Amino acid sequence: MGSTRNVHGGLRLDAHKQHSTRTPLRLANVPSQVALPLDQHAGSPATPLVKPGDSVALGQPIAAARSDISAWLHSPISGRVIAIEPRHAPHKKDSISIVIANDGEDRKHPANVPIDFRSLTPAALCEHIARGGIVGLGGAVFPTAAKLLRASGSEQLHLLLNGAECEPWISCDEMLMREHAADIVFGAQVLCHALNAARCTIAIEDDVPEAQQALQAALATQPGVVTLVTVPSVYPAGGERQLITSVTGMEVPSDGLPSDIGVVCQNVGTAAAVARWIRDGEPLVSRIVSVTGSGVREPANLEARIGTSIADIVADCGGYADDVQALIMGGSMMGIALASDALPVLKATNCIVVATSTDLQPRGPEMPCIRCGNCSDACPASLLPQQLHWYALGGDQSALARLGLLDCIECGCCDYVCPSQIPLTQRFREAKPALISTLTARRQADTARARFESREQRLARLEQEQRARLEEKRRQLTGRKTSAPGPE
């Protein structure tokens, strides 16, 4: 077991994972209907391959990736397409979605078959992974193949599998590591081949002994370049940049990517999804969801089909208890509040917290900042939240850029420790779009200025060259006149 380094900031939070880890991982009931947004991944929405009335099979591609940063979408059930229309989704009010009615047969798409990944080149393997619709399952849902291809030109790559599930309520990765460790190890081997990576590290928190034992047993049967390390159970240990620093000692540049320092980070759930696609021919049509909180009667981890309604998976866990105050997708620190349980499970849905008043930290009235510095001490990105807040209120884009607002990971640590109850994370989230617009406009202006200056320099050079040619012609004409013989 490898050792890691402590990183700046973070919080030790009371964990609530025991609520949803008491019972084994199980399959959720198959829904009678699914709604599948075309934009449930980072990048461009997928392009439909079906139309209303079409019959589809389980695992059949129903929407194709539109660009390099996009993801394929597959039917999680067999049945008939009944609509392609705007539907409310957790991430967007009106998201164009493919709606499919279940025929109860679960007919599998015959074209989805296992492959020997070692027979493919890294580029061909990345293309195949893309066609499985696989995205990052840690929450960012960035298309996996695109991330692999971006890094594939680097040498001596280090693949880092993120199993550091630091949010207090989320336990889907822990249950995956406990019960399907072999899938993670096999997926790590596939990803290493796709990257031509020299080594792979699986990083998990130090308070999940059952997961450690399962992974160690799986690794013992597959000797190779994969190693296991533990990191302190400090929130947000699972933040990509924080985890990379903790495991490798290197820092990702502020304006760079992990691949710039030779590291590619993937979630353990992503590795398991890759394994199922390669080994079993099963595209990403389901994911593990932690259904937890004091407001659900039987908290559990369910493997649910993508597109299942949240109401269905809550019902699968015994239904609602009393005093439900909120539905939160994701954890209590970085999750988003949901307006309805009619919304579908997405590829990004790792957890549904059914929260009562006892689960929620009450927020008092906002008071002036007392400059205590607690937020700076807690910030895992080593920022100065009190300064950022001051300049965010004043809309000083230059100061926000200089102080690194875009490096904020919106973890909520500063909110949590602020004695003045200032909603710092919300303010930073609201300030980012304006800063991005300002920086984009500045880059465009710089590009336009550079193009103008380059054009002016080119025209001046051409004019100078033209003058030089004319001067040379004059000299040649003058020389010929001088050397011409006079009349006899």
Q: Write phi, then psi, for 417 (nearest 5 degrees).
A: -100, 0
Residues of the chain with pLDDT under 50: 488
The structure's pTM equals 0.89
Among candidate residues 307, 332, 356, the one where a domain is terminated:
356
Domain assignment present for 390: yes
Domain end call among 286, 310, 326? 286
Q: What is the CATH number of the domain that holds 69?
A: 3.40.50.11540
* pLDDT at 82 (0 to 100): 98
Q: What is the pLDDT of residue 344?
A: 98
Residue that is written with structure tokens 């004695």 in the block:
419
Domain contains 245:
yes
Residue 12 domain-assigned (yes or no): no
Considering the domain architecture, whether residues 134 and 53 belong to the same structural domain is answered as yes
344 belongs to a structural domain: yes
Backbone dihedral angles phi then psi of residue 358, each to the nearest 5 degrees:
-75, -20
CATH of the domain at 373: 1.10.1060
Q: Give yes or no: residues 264 and 296 share one domain.
A: no
Q: What is the C-alpha separation between 145 and 130, in angstroms, rounded?
A: 5
Note the helical H segments in 27-138: 122-131
Together in a domain, 201 and 122: yes
The residue out of 226, 261, 286 marking a domain boundary is: 286
Domain count, the chain: 3
Please indicate, yes or no, whether residues 62 and 176 belong to a single structural domain of this protein. Answer: yes
Do 280 and 310 lie in one domain? The reply is no
Q: 108-115: long-range contacts (C-beta < 8 A, 24 or more apart)? A: 108/57, 108/58, 108/59, 108/78, 109/57, 109/58, 109/59, 109/60, 109/61, 109/74, 109/75, 110/57, 112/59, 112/281, 112/282, 112/283, 113/281, 114/278, 114/279, 114/280, 114/281, 115/278, 115/281
Q: Are 259 and 337 within one domain?
A: no
243 shares a domain with 205: yes
Q: Which is nearest to 378 in space by CA: 437, 427, 424, 444?
A: 424
Residue closest to 330 by CA, chosen among 289, 358, 360? 289
CB neighbours of residue 474 within 10 Å: 10
**19 closest CA partner among 122, 162, 170:** 170
Same domain, 324 and 210: no
Give pLDDT, residue 3: 58
What domain range includes position 319?
Answer: 288-356
Sheet holding 286-292, edge to edge: 26-27, 300-305, 286-292, 351-356, 324-329, 336-338
pLDDT attached to residue 217: 95
- For the chain, what is the mean pLDDT? 93
Within a domain: 485? no
- Does residue 6 sit within a domain? no
State residue 254's pLDDT score.
Answer: 85
Same domain, 391 and 446: yes
For 140-187, what is each residue's pLDDT tens digit? 899 999 999 988 777 789 999 999 998 999 999 999 999 999 999 999
341 and 395 inside one domain: no
Are 256 and 140 in a shared domain? yes
**What pLDDT, on a 0 to 100 scale, did the predictor assign at position 93?**
87
Look at residues 385, 373, 335 and name the one whose alpha carbon lies nearest to residue 355.
Answer: 335
Please tell me whether residues 102 and 174 are part of one structural domain.
Answer: yes
Residue 7: phi and psi, rounded to 5, are -115, 165
178 located within any domain: yes
- Domain harbouring 341, CATH code: 3.10.20.600
> What pLDDT is recorded for position 139?
84
Per-residue pLDDT tens for 15-57? 899 999 999 999 999 999 999 999 999 999 999 999 999 999 9
Answer whether residue 5 is part of any domain.
Answer: no
